[in-house]
Structure 1
Amino acid sequence: MRRIFLSFLLVIILAPLGYFAFSMYWPQTLPKTGKQVPIRLGSGTLESIQALHRAGILPYPQMFRLAWMLAGHPILQAGLYDFQGRVSQEQVLERLRNGQSTPLNLVIIPGWTLAMVLQELHSHAPYVNLHTLPADAQAARQLADLGIGAHDSAEGWLFPDSYRYVPGTTALSILKRAYQRMQANLRHLWSQRAPGLPLQNPYQALILASIVQKEGAPPAQQAHIAAVFLNRLRKGMPLQSDPTVIYALGKHYQGHLTAQDMQVASPFNTYLHAGLPPTPISMPGMSSLQAVLHPSNSQDLYFIAQANTYHYSSTYAQHIRQIKQYLQATARVAS
């Protein structure tokens, strides 16, 4: 009788342990397509467990919570988690405590405008929290009021790079990181700038770098193009940069500039107004920033691009001759 009682007692003790071990270590087979579960930033442990349970990743959520408690209440890291094949609850716990999630990145490309960055952010929904993100025509000023940008505008102030985030990250926090990166890089480059530049402050360097960036030249040509624009500033000549007119036209730009377009009444039209436009026209990358602050040693005032070949000249007469040669070469190719 005693032996039966001890056996019964042993079963009572081991059965829960066996159930716990089964629920935690016996893997379940997921669908061929797998499962993807976002654990959002700021989610509590119970909220995270419920999200995994609803997705079919945790068939025994109470056992998972017990295992989490026995493990010392580790933080379950926010992230986008992909589960494939056969997965046990113990493996899920290890992945979440170590943050082994799928990388999410917002990439800002050199030459993008603020409107393009905001459009890209919207494409990252629902993983990016877009709450309080300005989206109207006054977004540049509104972001500056929120501490993202300076001189009443966020245009030009977001450093092109890849910014990793986890689900639930606010769009404003990502933009803040990009702004701080641009601030730090611009401050460092300005402190080591070449002497004698006709620029009064780092913001003017940022504006000119944004124009050099939008000219679309390869990095090897940017320092020479920057020198042309800087020489024009020294002489009080208009910069006459097509990208500034395109920026002024905004949504009215049809893919090519017409004679009428060149007369658009805007402070950004550098054919009509000498000096720099009021704000940057794009997000300049590192190479264009360096080009403006360390330009080529050149007296050139003009340039034209022929495919990937650039022709520079220091006089208007030379410039006209190069334009004629370019047009003749183009005509020969067309015929």
Structure 2
Amino acid sequence: MRRILLSFLLVIILVPSGYFGYTMYWPQTLLKAGKQVPIRLGSGALESIQTLHRAGILPYPQMFRLAWMLMGRPILQAGLYDFQGRVSQEQVLRRLRNGQSTPLNLVIIPGWSLAMVLHELHSKSPYLNLHALPLGEQAGQQLADMGVGANGSAEGWLFPDSYRYVPGTTALSLLQRAYQRMEGNLRHLWSQRASGLPLHNPYQALILASIVQKEGAPPAQQAHIAAVFLNRLRKGMPLQSDPTVIYALGKQYHGHLTSQDMQVSSPFNTYLHAGLPPTPISMPGMSSLQAVLHPSDSQDLYFIAQGNAYHYSSTYAQHIQQIKQYLQTTARTAS
């Protein structure tokens, strides 16, 4: 009788244990394409388990929950999880506990405008929470009111870099991180700026750096280009930067500036207005910020680009001569 009772107890112990081991450690075969499951930021453990169950990753959600509880109720990390081939529930639990998810990144490219960043968020970031993200012509001012930007605009204030996030992250929080990076870098660089710059505050440095950035020159040329613009500011000359006109035109720009375009009535048109435009025109990278605050030692007032070669001059006569040479070279190349 005792032997029968022991056998019965062993069955009672081993069968549930075996079932638990089977459900947790026996891998199931997923569809050939696999599964991609977003676990959103702020999801509780039970919500995450249900999400995985609905996606077909957890056929035995109650056993998964039991294993999670026996493990001490660890945090199941938010993330975008890819499951391929054969996957066990134990492997799923381990991956979520360790946060082994597919990286998601918002990449802000140097020279992007605010409109381009917002377009990236809306068109290529499906797992971000876009709630409260403003759009339209007033987006820059609205973001500044939300703590993303200063001087009444978010334009120029987002530091170009890669910003990692998980599903459910708010787009606004990502932009706040980018703003804090720019504000911190600008404040540090301004404290170490060269002496004698015709700039009154860090915001003016940000505006000029955005113009230098949009000129499209390689980093090795940016300090010299910055020197040209700074020299013009000292003399009260218009900056005469094409990218500011392009920014003023907005959607009316079609890839080539015409003589009519150059007369566009806008405070951003630096052919018509001396001094700096009212806001930055792009998100400047570190090299253009450094170029403005540590420019080359130069008296030049003009420059032209000929392919990868840049030609500088300190007088208008020299500048006209270089333009003639450029046109002659272009004509010979075309023929």
* Same fold, TM-score > 0.5, yes or no: yes
Distance 2:208 2:334 in 1: 35
| 1:30 shift after superposition | 1.2
- What's 1:101 paired with? 101
Q: How do 1:221-240 and structure 2 match up within 5 A?
A: 221-240=221-240
The letter for the 1-side match of 2:46 is: L
- What's 2:321 paired with? 321
Partner-residue secondary structure (3-state), 1:126: coil
| 1:136 shift after superposition | 1.4
Distance 1:60 1:141 in 2: 50
| 1:29 shift after superposition | 1.1
Q: How do 1:41-80 and structure 2 match up within 5 A?
A: 41-80=41-80
Describe the superposition over 1:20-56 as per-residue Cα deviations: whole angstroms up to 9, x where unpaired. 0110011111112111110000001111000101111
Distance 1:27 1:75 in 2: 23
Partner-residue secondary structure (3-state), 2:164: strand
- What's 1:295 paired with? 295
- What's 1:10 paired with? 10
| 1:126 shift after superposition | 2.8
Where does structure 2 lack aligned partners over 5 or more consecutive residues? Answer: none
| 1:123 shift after superposition | 2.2
- What's 2:270 paired with? 270
Describe the superposition over 1:274-300 as per-residue Cα deviations: whole angstroms up to 9, x where unpaired. 000000000000000000000000000
- What's 1:170 paired with? 170
Where does structure 1 lack aligned partners over 5 or more consecutive residues? Answer: none
The letter for the 2-side match of 1:253 is: Y
Q: How do 1:88-167 and structure 2 match up within 5 A?
A: 88-167=88-167
Could you state the TM-score of these two structures normalised by the residue count of structure 2?
0.99
Q: Is the 8 A contact 2:223 2:295 kept in 1?
A: yes
Distance 1:20 1:229 in 2: 72
Please tell me whether residue 243 in structure 1 is matched to residue 243 in structure 2. yes
| 1:85 shift after superposition | 1.3
Distance 1:75 1:194 in 2: 49
The letter for the 1-side match of 2:291 is: A
| 1:253 shift after superposition | 0.3
Q: Is the 8 A contact 2:106 2:125 kept in 1?
A: no
| 1:5 shift after superposition | 3.2
- What's 2:310 paired with? 310
- What's 1:20 paired with? 20
Distance 2:294 2:323 in 1: 28
Distance 1:16 1:85 in 2: 27
Distance 1:177 1:273 in 2: 34
Describe the superposition over 1:228-267 as per-residue Cα deviations: whole angstroms up to 9, x where unpaired. 0000000000000000000000000010000000000000
| 1:103 shift after superposition | 0.4
| 1:84 shift after superposition | 1.1
Q: Is the 8 A contact 2:210 2:284 kept in 1?
A: yes
Partner-residue secondary structure (3-state), 1:327: helix
Distance 1:185 1:262 in 2: 34
Partner-residue secondary structure (3-state), 1:117: helix
Q: Is the 8 A contact 2:127 2:168 kept in 1?
A: yes
Partner-residue secondary structure (3-state), 1:123: helix
| 1:13 shift after superposition | 1.9
Distance 1:255 1:273 in 2: 23
Could you state the TM-score of these two structures normalised by the residue count of structure 1?
0.99
Say how many residue pairs are matched. Answer: 335
CA RMSD of aligned residues (A): 0.7
